[in-house]
């Protein structure tokens, strides 16, 4: 596969596999999904991310056919699906609760859908064995769900959904029932399985780290609308709004006014303190569209800010401050620094050097300098 073939959404003429056009869903006078359009490509692991009640599950249920859209249309693999009942769609859904039959063995749970579809006995045996191998549960076929761990049950549910060879698999919070460690491990298994089967996955989650790890692309939803659609790194590094910057990771916001502009940089002033900052201009990003006198917000990720007890001579932008809070997280520490301009910044720094006792590391009430380079901030129009 060429690199470009792995990123069909980057090609303007690529054919989408799932096409959602102007889709809305109203429950009475309440709009749960509000006129959204989206193309998803074959083999994607597409993440739908958003807070509680934003409409993710409603969208997933419309894709599965469990919910009828109020308006708009859904196409899968070129065929209009909007009025097609769930059992006639090339789609399977894996529920948050897994919905396994407790009285049936793992094998029987997985075989259930195939049997109901009238698939022959020997083919069922082969397909169940193949899928159990894929989810690494070959030795667990004779067990009942209550004799399995949470992670194993999750894999049985996945096997049961995949054994019917859907073109699209919809997963609603697939890892929510697992503890943190198991969830991280299972994320990679899920990615491997998706890669092996080539099935297009649409995964609903409210966990931004999970969405970032799993997804080829993410749609961030709020109040029934898409706020931004993009590859994880694109959304993290170039959030379209302050809402997204805050929702995906954490961010510092510095209100500034553009006072000067040349080919490669802009000069921005924080008006209350008169302090001037420099940001690089990139012809594709919004900062190039700002005009002199215009107000904007500098968005700075905590890990893009350096912190030291001595001035950071290599940084174009610097502020003096005092540490107000320290959270030691092992591999990194997070500092809240009250700066000279009256704004508190969150700064994250790796703990590269083993602490040599009190006095060496940065601590509460220490005077510090924070700094960042001119290409570290994103400028958002405000
Ligand atoms: P969560 O992460 O909490 O599951 P979600 O993003 O999946 O949230 P949805 O289940 O899609 O949210 O619900 C979106 C909105 O639509 C919510 O405000 C919910 O109360 C409302 N809603 C969902 N189903 C119905 C229904 N059958 N009747 C009325 N309102 C509904």
Contact assessment for residue 8 and residue 217, using Cβ atoms and an 8 Å cutoff: no
Q: Please list the helix, strand and coil fractions of the chain in percent, rounded to the nearest 5, in that order.
A: 30, 35, 40
State if residue 243 touches ligand 1 by the CB under 6 angstroms criterion.
no
Predicted local distance difference test score (pLDDT) of residue 287: 60
| 55 CA from centroid of ligand 1 (Å) | 6
Section 2-30 average pLDDT? 89
**Ligand 1 centroid from CA 369, angstroms:** 46
- Taking the centre of ligand 1 as the mean of its atom positions, its distance from the CA of residue 305, in whole angstroms, is 38
Query: What gap in Å lies between CA 13 and CA 39, rounded to an integer?
Result: 12
CA–centroid distance, 164 to ligand 1, in Å, is 28
Is 378 close to ligand 1, i.e. is its CB under 6 Å away? Answer: no
Radius of gyration of the chain (CA): 25
| Per-residue pLDDT tens over the stretch 167-207 | 999 999 888 877 788 788 888 888 888 888 889 999 999 88
Q: What is the pLDDT of residue 25?
A: 98
112 pLDDT band (50/70/90 cuts)? Answer: very high
Q: How far does residue 218's CA lie from ligand 1's centre (Å)? A: 20
Ligand 1 pocket, residue 224 CB under 6 Å: no
Q: Is the CB of 32 under 6 A from ligand 1?
A: yes
The pLDDT of residue 1 is 45
Nearest to 131 by CA among 92, 85, 76: 92
Residues 210-269: pLDDT tens digits? 899 889 999 999 999 999 999 999 999 999 999 999 899 899 999 999 999 888 899 999
Atom of ligand 1 nearest to the CA of 54: 6
What is the pLDDT at residue 360? 56
DSSP letter (8 states) at residue 65: T
Cβ of 57 closer than 6 Å to ligand 1, yes or no, is: yes
| Ligand 1 centroid, distance to 77 Cα (angstroms) | 27
* CB-CB contact of 382 with 343 (8 Å): no
pTM of the predicted model as reported, rounded to 2 decimal places: 0.88
**Of 175-184, 297-306, 314-323, 368-377, which gets the smallest average pLDDT?**
175-184
Ligand 1 centroid vs 338 CA: distance in angstroms? 40
For ligand 1, say whether the CB of 25 is within 6 Å of any of its atoms: no
**How confident is the model at residue 283, as a pLDDT?**
57
Residue 221 CA, closest ligand 1 atom number:
6
Question: If DSSP codes are grouped into helix, strand and coil, which group holds residue 63?
Answer: helix
- Decide if 267 contacts 260 (C-beta within 8 A): yes
Residue 30 Cα to ligand 1 middle (Å): 10
Residue nearest to atom 28 of ligand 1 (CA): 27
Q: Is the pLDDT of residue 98 over 90?
A: no
- The percent of residues above 90 in pLDDT, for the chain, comes to 69
Sign of CA dihedral 244, 215, 305, 267: negative
pLDDT tens digit string along 335-360? 999 999 999 999 999 987 766 555 45
Q: Which of 29, 52, 53 to mutate to test the pocket of ligand 1 (most atoms within 8 A of CB)?
A: 53
Average pLDDT of every residue of the chain: 91
- Residue-range domains of the chain with CATH: 8-246 (3.40.50.300), 250-381 (2.40.50.100)
Reported as a pLDDT band with limits 50, 70 and 90, residue 121 is: very high
Round to whole Å and give the CA distance between 286 and 266: 12
Q: What is the 3-state secondary structure (H, E, C) of the chain?
A: CCCHHHCHHHCCCCCCCEEEEEEEEEECCEEEEEEEEEEECCCCEEEEEECCCCCHHHHHHHHHCCCCCCEEEEEECCEECCCCCHHHCCEEEECCCCCCCCCCCHHHHHHHHHHHCCCCHHHHHHHHHHHHHHCCCHHHCCCCHHHCCHHHHHHHHHHHHHCCCCCEEEEECCCCCCCHHHHHHHHHHHHHHHHHHCCEEEEEECCHHHHHHHCCEEEEEECCEEEEEECHHHHHHCCCCHHHHHHCCCCEEEEEEEEEECCCEEEEEECCCCEEEEEECCCCCHHHHCCCCCEEEEEECHHHCEEECCCCCCCCEEEEEEEEEEEECCCEEEEEEEECCCCEEEEEEECCCCCCCCCCCCCCCCEEEEEECCCCCEEEEC
Residue 8 pLDDT > 70: yes
Answer whether 205 contacts ligand 1 (Cβ < 6 A).
no
From 36, 50, 58, give the residue whose CB has the most ligand 1 atoms within 8 Å, as the site to mutate: 58
Instruction: Quote the pLDDT of residue 171.
Output: 93
């Amino acid at each position: 596969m060429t690199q470009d073939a792995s990123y069909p959404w980057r090609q303007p003429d690529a054919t989408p596999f799932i096409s959602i056009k102007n889709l809305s869903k109203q429950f009475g006078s309440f709009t749960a999904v509000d006129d959204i359009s989206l193309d998803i490509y074959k083999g994607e692991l597409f993440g739908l991310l958003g807070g509680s009640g934003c409409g993710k599950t409603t969208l997933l249920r419309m894709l599965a056919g469990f919910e009828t859209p109020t308006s708009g249309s859904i196409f899968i693999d070129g065929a209009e699906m909007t009025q097609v009942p769930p059992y006639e769609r090339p789609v399977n859904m894996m529920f948050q609760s897994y919905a396994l039959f407790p009285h049936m063995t793992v094998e029987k749970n997985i075989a259930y859908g195939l049997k109901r579809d009238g698939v022959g006995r020997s083919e069922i045996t082969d397909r169940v064995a193949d899928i159990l191998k894929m989810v690494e549960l070959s030795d667990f076929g004779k067990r009942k769900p209550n004799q399995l761990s949470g992670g194993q049950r999750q894999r049985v549910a996945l096997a049961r959904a995949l054994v019917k060879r859907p073109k699209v698999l919809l997963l609603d919070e697939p890892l929510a029932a697992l503890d943190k460690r198991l969830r991280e491990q299972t994320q990679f298994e899920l990615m491997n399985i998706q890669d092996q089967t080539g099935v297009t996955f649409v995964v609903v989650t409210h966990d931004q780290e999970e969405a970032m790890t799993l997804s080829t692309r993410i749609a961030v939803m709020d109040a029934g609308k898409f706020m931004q659609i993009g590859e994880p790194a694109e959304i993290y590094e170039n959030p379209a709004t302050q809402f997204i910057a805050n929702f995906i990771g954490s961010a510092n916001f510095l209100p500034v006014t553009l006072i000067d502009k040349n080919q490669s940089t802009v000069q921005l002033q924080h008006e209350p303190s008169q302090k001037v900052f420099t940001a690089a201009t990139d012809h594709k990003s919004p900062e190039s569209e700002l005009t002199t006198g215009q107000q904007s917000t500098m968005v700075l990720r905590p890990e893009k800010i350096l912190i030291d007890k001595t001035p950071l001579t290599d940084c174009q932008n610097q502020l003096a401050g005092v540490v107000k809070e320290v959270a030691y997280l092992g591999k990194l520490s997070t500092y809240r620094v009250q700066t000279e301009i009256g704004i508190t910044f969150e700064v994250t720094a790796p703990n590269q050097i083993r602490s040599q006792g009190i006095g060496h590391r940065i601590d509460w009430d220490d005077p510090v300098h924070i700094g960042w380079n001119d290409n570290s901030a994103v400028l958002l129009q405000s």
